[in-house]
Chains A and B, each alone.
Chain A
């Protein structure tokens, strides 16, 4: 599975990269610091999954999700945030799943597996 990371914080991307690298079959194929780069990379890399920080610096999370739907309608997106309160908004905006950054990392792996198995229309809360 080819995964694209979108988070403006290098240390978060580093942590995610380190976590995912240990998992067989998961490849981090690109990293974006903002929504513009995310959309460009989504178009040229054709990832199977996006891990999206809800608070990118240039565009609000719900608008990023809408733009991703235009570029890649079936692309599953797991929204990441430190604020559990935005979970409903993320799912309503079309996220496949929500992951709280304060949750243990293995729950993110669970979410990835569940999103994969649910394919494009599955949703799960984490």
Chain B
């Protein structure tokens, strides 16, 4: 199997420029207010200046996370036209995907976080189930994470547009590492944004986390025939469980479970495509036997 040297480099660079440009420019005013006044934009507006201009900036902040989605559709539209846009959308809305992988994308993020957390409970670490008293709050998180914060807003771009093009040049694992690093860097302004979940946490641990998780995203997406819906569900589940059980980065067992899971996935499925080799002969044999 060859991956040709012909690489859609220009289109991919354009995609990343638009994705980063959209999000970083719209985050910029909030970052400036945080850095200069150590307050969030909303708090600053309420407390200092309730102007229409700042209101527009706040609306910009709400749609700031849509950078990868906007970039994916814009670059696809420019380079591949309406048909390309239709195909990109179909990869989200095509329900003929392997159902088992939809289940994996829903359950795996919870296991990766909850299992290490349960391991340390006997050692005296509390489980933090504050959200259980307010289940509607979790529903809000799920909706937000599925649409604006991670799911649809990012996965049309990262796994929908970028991943197939990176895999045209590199193996699935190398593509995942490259994409994971870029994905992590895209989040960097959030460390300078008051109220974000990243503020005050370790950027380096986040980078490692995104690279390891990126391998799992590729594994799930490739085995679900590139389904963007599966990637969106995986992302929404991962963000939601991180909100339900914050502080995983401080738990050594989290890193052990995550690292071990990635190693097992790569060994079992193979670094080249992260898809089981047996899948293809089975598909062929199934059609032969018809």
Contact = CB atoms under 8 A, between A and B. Distances in A.
Interface of A: 1-2, 13, 17, 21, 25, 27-33, 35-37, 39-41, 43-46, 48, 59, 63-64, 66-67, 70-74, 119
A44 B4 contact: no
A46 B283 CA distance: 17
A58 to B, nearest CB: 8
A63 B287 contact: yes
A46 B164 contact: yes
Contacts of A73: 96
Residues of B contacting A: mostly: helix
11 contacts: A2-B168, A28-B6, A30-B2, A32-B2, A35-B280, A39-B280, A40-B280, A44-B222, A44-B275, A71-B225, A119-B83
A116 to B, nearest CB: 8
Contacts of A46: 87, 91, 164, 226
Contacts of A119: 83
A27 B79 CA distance: 11
B102 interface: no
Interface string B250-290: 00000000000000000000001101010011011011101
B80 A67 contact: no
B167 A37 contact: no
B79 to A, nearest CB: 8
Given A40-B275, A43-B225, A43-B275, A67 B1 contact: no
Contacts of A25: 79
A119 B83 CA distance: 8
Most chain B CB within a 10 A radius of its CB, from A31, A44, A45, A74: A44
The 6 closest A-B pairs by CB, nearest first: A37-B1, A66-B287, A31-B2, A29-B168, A39-B280, A46-B164
Given A44-B222, A63-B288, A30 B275 contact: no
B287 A43 contact: no
Contacts of B225: 43, 71-72
B275 A48 contact: no
A67 B91 contact: no
Nearest to B160: A46
Contact of B164 (A17, A45, A59): A45
A32 B286 CA distance: 21
Interface in B122-164: 164
A29 B8 contact: yes
B273 A40 contact: yes
Contacts of B172: 44
Contact of A30 (B3, B96, B222, B281): B3
A77 B11 CA distance: 24
A123 to B, nearest CB: 17
A43 B277 CA distance: 12
Contacts of B87: 46, 48
A40 B287 contact: no
A71 B2 CA distance: 20
B105 to A, nearest CB: 16
A32 B1 contact: yes
Contacts of B288: 63
